[in-house]
Structure 1
Amino acid sequence: MAATPQALQAHRNRVPAERRRNFGVYVIAITVAAAAITLRDFAQLPSVLEHAPVGFWVLAGLAVAGDALPVTLPGRWNTSAIYPSICFTFAIMIDSGLAAAVVVQGLAVAVASLRLRHALWRAVFNLGQYTLAFGFAYAVLHLLSGDAPAGLPALAASAAAWFAVKYLTTATAIWLRDGGSLLPIIMGPLANEALSTGALLMLGPVIAAQTEVAPELVLALILPLLAVRRLSIITAEQNHLANIDTLTGLANRKALIGEVSAAVAGHAQRAVQGDPRSRFGLLLLDLDRFKHVNDSLGHEVGDRLLIAVGDRLDRLVRSGDLVARLGGDEFAVVAKRLDSPDQARELAEQIEQALTAPVVLDGLPLDVGGSIGIAIYPDHGTNFATLLRHADVAMYTAKHDGDGVAVYDPDADQNSPQRLSLLADLRTMLGQPDRGGLRLFYQPQVEITTGEVVGVEALLRWQHPTRGPVSPDELIRVAEPSSVMRLLTRWVVEEAVIQLAKWSASGMQVRMAVNVSVRDLHTGAIVEQIEELLQRYGVPPYRLQLEITESALMADPHRVLATLTRLQLLGVGIALDDFGTGYSSLQHLRRLPLSEVKIDRSFVMAMADDPDDLVIVRSIIELAGALGLRVVAEGVEDERAWRLLQSAGCEVAQGWFYARPLPPDELADWLSRTTLPARSA
């Protein structure tokens, strides 16, 4: 996509003042050096032109005509354009000297600059580069050949000097203008440009020799030159297409990898030098609701939406930063030379704010929005793969929490080395006879009106042999994203059913609640497992109850609903855990085969001091009662909470006010010696 004049001006305005100043000084220095290196030779120019043969004028005409159609190499991954004039001006340098070559090249630069609409300063700078290149090439040629006719080694060395000076001065200019690391800028297009420019330069000696014999035959070289030009165009297009996303015109993954690798090298060098701006940020953006646009309006509209979003991102970033599309609705931004990580967050928040404005396509406003994850070099990684993975973790944290923007936090990373090690230990211990310290504890659920223990909740505990106690939250966070979760659930359910059978044999008739994750409900396998376990140990299905969360339902409601319906038909109870903290609660109460809802502990623990939480608790109790559902309040820690629940009509409660989670033998002892408060207390 072509940038508008306003966008180009905005891009220039975002270039730091220090960088603009350094670039300006460099342009002036090149121009002054070029003038100084050729000043003496220009004194001989009138004599050279006066005695110039016909061949000189033929070559001059072809040089100027050739640059009327220069081959430009598009994109930031190429450092210059290919100008056909150089084969003719290099031949003029060989036959007629430095000053004649510079004058003809100056005319060619003027034509090319008009054709490409270059600013005056750029035309002068380009001529300065050419002049320096010819100056060094001329010096090398005479150093190696003296006054004798130049041989092939001297001509090749002269051409190499010309290319080195021209290429390096261009690469340095780009480095000063855009920042980053100089070496990747030099190495990136070196092979392609050496091939194209080298072919033109080495035609120069052939043209020079032919001009001395039969100048008119130089015209026969036009066809080979057209072939070289075509090769240059193909090379340029291939190099450009290899680095861009064809839909949006932004950088693609390959270009992003190269940019991050270059940034790592450049910022590592600045860190050694003590530059405070030795950090950079990798921002990963995933659009919200893009799938809905594609599904409802079609892929053509979806593609146009991606183009519009890419354009917004490209306008927002600073000069030298890179915007890339990774595929689908994922974009990335490399934010370079950060004074602090807060700058990356500020940029991410600007992007988030920019995406809040609808994208209008054919008069239809489309809301997009997005979730952005940030990884900072070197804090969160020192190579592309690590930074991208950590930015991806942060992005999903932002999406899950609904915050829009998140910086990578190792504690939220399911794939950190510590968690991967813990996951491996868990997998190993599940295969051991003693389960390596895994145990189930049970917390009583008490009927408020009678003080009778009507159920227990099975709670997982892990005493790791070397790490000590692992918190239940960390244990679930480690296991849930992996296949180990199903192994863990199978073991927990089997342990629970075995314990129910033991209690039933001893005359203790209670219902047991077991938590399951969304991964367990994605297939119907858990239904067959539970049915087989209940039959094997002779436990009635109604003694077992599965607890699910609303967030689990939202992950894949259709498949989860199908599994829950089969469990209900089996006779297993279904409870909705943490009620009030998820989404679409009323819809779930109406559609799901529930027997119970559990009020989240956050409401129960705060209701004595927060009237709003008390109103929420009472509303849940009334709503569940109207739907014929049993209500269990968890997190009952003191008598105040117990009395408030009692007055609100809650049926069942659990919490430390009654008992902490206990192992099976301690639970039996607790039941034998405990008198619980009832409504009459």
Structure 2
Amino acid sequence: MQIRADGWSDDFRLKREFALHQAYFEAFDSVVATLLAPDEPDTLPQVLSILVDVSRCAAGAIYLNEPDQRAAQAIACWADPEAGLPGSIPDGLSRIAYTGFPLLAATLEAGMVLNKTLFELSPVVQMRLVPLGIRRAICLPLLEQDNCFGFLALFDVDAERERASSELRFLSMLTNVLAQALLKQRAQAGMLAGQERLKVLVGATQDMVFEIDEQGIITQAWSGLPDLPPVSVLRGASLSAVLPQELAAPMAVALPTVVREMRTQQFNCVLPVERGALYLLVRLQPIQADGQTRAVALVQDVSEVMQEAAQRKTMLDTLNLLEEAVIDLTPQGVLAETSPAWARLRGIAPQDIVVELGQPILKWVHAEDQDAVASAMGRLLDSSEAKAQRFRLLRGSGETIWVEARLIAHHAPDGGIQSIRGVLRDVTVAHLNEQHITQLALYDTLTRLPNRLLLDDELHQAIERAQRDNTKVALGFIDLDHFKEVNDAFGHKTGDELLVNVATRLSNALRPGDMLARWGGDEFIALIPDLGNLSGVRGLAEQLRSAAQQGVMLEGLEARPTISVGFAVFPDDASSAEELLSAADHTMYNAKNAGRNNVCFYSDLMHFKALGREHMAIQARLANAIHDDTLQVFYQPVVEAGTGEVLAVEALARWQDGQGGWVSPDIFIPMAEKAGMIHELSDRIVTQSLERLHRWRAAGLKQLLMVNISRSQLFSPTFLSLLVEKLLRLGLRPGDVVLEITESVALTDYARQMKHLRQIVDAGFQIAIDDFGTGYSSLSQLHEMPVQFLKVDGSFSQRLHTEDGRGIMQAIVQLGQLLKLDVIVEGVENRETAQYLNEIGVRRMQGFYFSEPVPPNVAELSLRLGVTARL
């Protein structure tokens, strides 16, 4: 008997594997029997108990993907009572968003098994599992033709308990059985629902519907007609016994063709009734059921249709005498009938009218007016509201004329809309005169933008819609910075050219349906109506700011105009149009006073102002936190994407207010800048991060530290010497530190900044241009800067789903590579973004996909082991 190095004999090992296989075969039989049990309404927990027991785990759960495949919802769970785990899914695990579990998502998508101990998972996942006592997770995909629609999760409290590959194969086999059972349940549910819908639909029809066998016996009947025998009489009777001869005879003649040749038959017949004549349209359709071919009869009363057709002909003969064109459209907008005047409007010969019947009316409507006409017809169908509609009609010669259409809905006796009828007349001359007057009254003569009068009308309409539909209206007050200097330097003609140029760019940055108006002088108003939420408004505001900054030539010199924008929202910030304008105006001046080239929102402005003394109290607590050095530093890794190796960490300030909890940096950093505390705050963060770097160096960790430098620090004459002094005191080298300076700061007083940047590099530090792409540095400026790293702003990562966004990112990366700079892309939040960046040559990345900003102890773990997310 041979003894292996692990102390087990071959014989013992074989017996152990045999017992394991025997257990899984028994589990397989139990799972199949449980799933096939006819009287068991809820078998999934029983199946989970079998799987948990045979796999020697502590708990298990079944998750099914949500329709958008971005998350999975737990539908069943079971836990061993002796394991000490909760018997129900905790809130944190009842719904799994795959964006928070990228490794799980990638593994399941590949159809593979995830078998990881707690410490092989990301810190975020560890934080969820540790409180539950879970030390190992095994996740197996539920597959439908290689597509994952959910997964089975098994949890173990013993991280050291290993599973052989054969055991994982057995678990996969059991999971496949479970997947087939779940798919079968889903299909049965869909079949029952479809049968119920069919029963409801057939029962709701206005027509007579019944089934006939080959011998002419009515085997089933679902609905009848008032002048014919009821359903109860039809079932089980022959055609000739219960139906009038005028109907039964032609049905009997058509029945053999339908049943034997499987061909549909259709005919008309007329029955004499007390109220006159009953016109019927009869259709026999073959159907196979229970191995037999039968016919389904659909008998439709078309008496009203026949009568109305005769009446319509009489009416159209009368309308032929009018100059206006009278048209009859189907509810779908297809031209069904028209008077001879249609030929005069269209500029075609009268005999050509027949060629245009059966075609959609929108075919002859100018492309720019088609949406409006379609919407008008849609409103008419929804509410029967008659309203005049003007649009351009295309003539046979290719020219256009303006017509006014007055449309009404023509109702059938049952109340439904049978057709759309209208009268069209040529209003070209009147329209052009009105348009000229309107242009002078409602539009700015220089920029061709709406003026105050038109804006006021559109704003009040937008607010009325918002009140009715429970939506929001955003209004941006825009001021062109330094416009007076342009007028003084170049004259009013050049100033007017700049206004027209900026107006065009701002208009193009808005969405369809938004409005840009000229308020007067160098001020504009952006009206953003019909907002369901405010998720896209801040991005739109930044697009306006970016659009204004594009280069423009002023008498041979390139200028980059900037704007200050103040946004307010109805009803959040104001209850009327006047209050909304006032709030946006006030907010714009705050944006201007903050240094121009800013976007400010009234809600942000009022966040602390509305709190009155509380604002001062928070500011005082921030001052105390800076003075007492209680601000915290979190660290976010910069990662080699292919390997997960951490190359550097960026130090980021965090503040946990004793009274208000965690405060966003977007709030307390601007507060510190406004209160003049930013220099001291930045010094505290630099000192803390350097002391932490000292500990990491002592522990043998070699990664770089990246710290953000404020504008005031950079211009301080003592900043560099004090920073070097701190490094020497801690035994650190300047080469250990990368100073991050935003592109906009680097461009402020460019000549002076160059001197400071060279002094920093000469002292041994490395420099990174942060948020690259949000400023407007020229190629020559960037080439001259003594920088080593280029950090691409995270906003560009968010646009990679568009072709333009990918093109811009590729251009920035190529620019950095040409300048021999190390390119780091920020804001990488998912695997798809990381993969694309890797394809275009980006190796160094930073973002939530790899790690969010974490406390020092968690960051140290990443420095030692790298991050779990990688390509």
TM-score normalised over the length of structure 2: 0.34
Q: Specify which structure has the higher proportion of strand.
A: 2
TM-score normalised over the length of structure 1: 0.43
| Higher relative contact order (CA closer than 8 Å, sequence separation 6+) | 1
